[in-house]
Amino acid sequence: MILEVVQLPVKAGEEAAFEAAFAEAEKIISAQPGYLSHELVGGADANNGSQYVLLVRWETVAAHQEGFRNSADY
């Protein structure tokens, strides 16, 4: 299992729009071969925005880098 960790800064006031867009994106991510699970965690940022952290678990590095990153969906 490989854990991908992505930091996603979001401007203050844009959190709801980001979460709505991510709801669509997670459908694409979760349909990829080698995908195991994901978690989106949000928290406050010192710059009056929000800092989200996306954790995605993949079966292998290749499933993420060669599969998802080279897919038409990416």
For the chain, which domains are there? 2-68 (3.30.70.100)
Predicted pLDDT of residue 61: 83
Give the model's confidence band at 68: pLDDT under 50 very low, under 70 low, under 90 confident, else very high.
low
69 — pLDDT class (breaks 50, 70, 90): low
Bridge partners of 4, per DSSP, are 56
- Tens digit of pLDDT for each residue in 9-57? 998 889 899 999 999 999 999 999 999 999 999 876 656 678 999 999 9
Quick check: 58 and 30 in contact, CB under 8 A? no
The answer to whether the beta carbons of residues 34 and 64 sit under 8 Å apart is yes
Cβ burial 50-69 (10 Å sphere, 16+ → b, else e): bebebebbbeeeebbeebbe
